[in-house]
Amino acid sequence: MSCELYKSEMFMWRPGSDVVSFRPLFEHLAACPECARRFAKLSASDETIQQTIQELPESQGLEAHILAGLAHQRAQDTTYRRRWRNWMILPMAASLLLCVMFGVGPRIQEARLSRQVASILNSPPDAEINSTDQQQLLDWSAAALSGSAALPSELSRVQFRAATSLRVANHKAVLLRMKNERRASLLIIDALMTSEKAIKSFHDQEGSNSRWSDGRRTYVLLFRGSEQEMRAYMSGMGITS
């Protein structure tokens, strides 16, 4: 078999395929550096797609469906191999990956945020600064976030007693402890991790949280109590969308 024919074998292979039936391909790859490099690039594209899909909640079946579609597309492409240049395959794989990212990106962000919020509720980080001076805490937070110290209007009545800097999904963030309710804290993330500007509330075994955005940052009110208790606190503090 020539290198051209072995290419069709490369496009059909993916993790989980029967190794024995692809033995001639791997023997050829061991002897042909050019084909080995091409196969490595294709495998890397598949792995990137798999890693993206695996970050999704309830993703069973999606990975197989996407990769099967990619394998089918590659198989069809081999029929027209003489009319198509080799460099067309990887752009097609990249386009498929972009479709996956734009279609499920917001769900990935929300899932990451939910996991980290649960972790903070379960085990809050130690305070880095304690102060009764509201402006001092806001200025410290602004420096940690590299931005403005101003809070959105719905948080104008909230007072803080301590602050901690941290990272949420590789974004800068600060956790501010409420002064008038020790069960409550405010997480400010210097990135959009929710597309909602209206306040959405959630509850799990670790506690409750409400999250929203101002179009630039994400705000999460964490509350170690029931959703009903959290809503009562928010109502009393004028935190409404």
Q: Enumerate the H helices of 32-61 as residue ranges.
A: 33-54
Asked if 190 and 172 touch (Cβ cutoff 8 Å), the reply is yes
- The pLDDT tens digits of the residues spanning 112-146 come to 788 888 889 888 999 999 998 999 999 999 999 98
Query: Would you place residue 88 in the very low, low, confident or very high pLDDT band (cuts 50, 70, 90)?
Result: very low
Residue 109 pLDDT > 60: yes
List the 207-213 sheet strands across, edge first.
129-130, 160-168, 171-178, 184-189, 218-223, 207-213, 200-204
Instruction: Place 214 in a pLDDT band, splitting at 50, 70 and 90.
Output: confident
Q: Is 32 left (phi over 0), alpha (psi -120 to 50) or beta?
A: beta
**What would the mean pLDDT of 72-96 be, rounded to a whole number?**
49
